[in-house]
Structure 1
Amino acid sequence: MASPFDIEEIYPDEGPAPRLPRRQAGTSPQSVAVTLLTDYTLRTRAALPSAAIVALLGEAGVTSAGARTAISRLARRGVLEGARQGRNSFYRLSRAAAADLSAGGNWITASTAETQAWDGCWTIVAFSLPQDHGTQRRALRGQLRWLGFAPLYDGLWISPYELAGPARARLAQLALGAVTVFRGRQDALGAIGQRAPVDAWDVDAISGHYEAFLRRWTPLVSRLGSVDGAAAVRARTEVMDTYRRFPTLDPRLPLELLPAGWPRRAARDLFAAVYDGLAEAAETHVRAVVARFADPVPPGIRAHTTADMLAGVREEGPCA
Structure 2
Amino acid sequence: MTSPFNIEEIYPDDGEHSLRMPRRQAGSSPQGVAVTLLADYTLRARAALPSAAIVALLAESGVTTAGARAAISRLARRGVLEGSRQGRHSSYRLTQAAAVNLSVGGHWILTSTTAAEPWDGCWTTVAFSLPQDRGTQRRALRGQLRWLGYAPLYDGLWISPYELTPRAQARLVQLTLGAVTVFRGRQIALAADSQRALIDAWDIDAISGHYEEFLQRWAPLVPQVRSGEVDGAAAVRARTEIMDTYRRFPILDPQLPRDLLPTGWLRQPAREVFAAVYDGLADPAQRHVRAVVGRFTDSVDPGISAHTTADLLAGVHGDAGWIPPARREPPSHRRTAV
Instruction: Compute the TM-score of the two structures, normalised by the length of structure 1.
Output: 0.92
The change in CA–CA distance for 1:233 and 1:316 in structure 2 (over 3 A counts) is farther
Q: Which residue of 1 aligns with 2:273?
A: 270
What residue identity is the alignment partner of 2:180? V
Q: Which residue of 2 aligns with 1:240?
A: 243
The alignment partner of 2:240 has SS state of helix
The change in CA–CA distance for 1:136 and 1:316 in structure 2 (over 3 A counts) is closer
Q: Which residue of 1 aligns with 2:166?
A: 165
Q: Which residue of 1 aligns with 2:336?
A: none
Task: After TM superposition, list the pairs within 5 Å mapping 1:18-37 onto structure 2.
Answer: 21-37=22-38
2-structure distance, mates of 1:72, 1:204: 40
Q: Cα distance, 1:48 vs. partner? A: 1.0
Q: Which residue of 1 aligns with 2:289?
A: 286
1-structure distance, mates of 2:251, 2:127: 21
C-alpha contact (below 8 Å) 2:56/2:292 kept by paired residues: yes
1-structure distance, mates of 2:229, 2:82: 36
C-alpha contact (below 8 Å) 1:46/1:301 kept by paired residues: yes
What residue identity is the alignment partner of 1:42? L
Deviations 1:237-292 (A, max 9, x none): 00000001111111100011000010011111111110000000000000111111
The change in CA–CA distance for 1:173 and 1:7 in structure 2 (over 3 A counts) is farther
1-structure distance, mates of 2:20, 2:247: 11
2-structure distance, mates of 1:53, 1:317: 27
Q: Cα distance, 1:23 vs. partner? A: 3.4
Q: Cα distance, 1:55 vs. partner? A: 0.6
Q: Cα distance, 1:182 vs. partner? A: 1.2
The change in CA–CA distance for 1:308 and 1:49 in structure 2 (over 3 A counts) is same
Q: Aligned-residue CA RMSD in angstroms?
A: 2.2
Report whether the alignment pairs 1:138 with 2:139: yes
What residue identity is the alignment partner of 2:256? L
Q: Cα distance, 1:15 vs. partner? A: 6.2
Deviations 1:102-142 (A, max 9, x none): 01101111111111111111001111223333222222212
C-alpha contact (below 8 Å) 1:14/1:166 kept by paired residues: no
2-structure distance, mates of 1:12, 1:74: 16
Q: Cα distance, 1:315 vs. partner? A: 6.7
Report whether the alignment pairs 1:9 with 2:12: no
2-structure distance, mates of 1:261, 1:270: 16
Q: Which residue of 1 aligns with 2:112?
A: 111
Instruction: Compute the TM-score of the two structures, normalised by the length of structure 2.
Output: 0.87
Task: After TM superposition, list the pairs within 5 Å mapping 1:1-320 onto structure 2.
Answer: 9-11=9-11, 21-190=22-191, 193-224=194-225, 225-314=228-317
The alignment partner of 1:226 has SS state of coil
The alignment partner of 1:133 has SS state of helix
Aligned residues: 314
C-alpha contact (below 8 Å) 2:232/2:287 kept by paired residues: yes
C-alpha contact (below 8 Å) 1:136/1:174 kept by paired residues: yes
Gaps of 5+ in 1: none
C-alpha contact (below 8 Å) 2:127/2:182 kept by paired residues: yes
Gaps of 5+ in 2: 322-338
Identity %: 75
Q: Which residue of 1 aligns with 2:329?
A: none
C-alpha contact (below 8 Å) 2:99/2:317 kept by paired residues: no
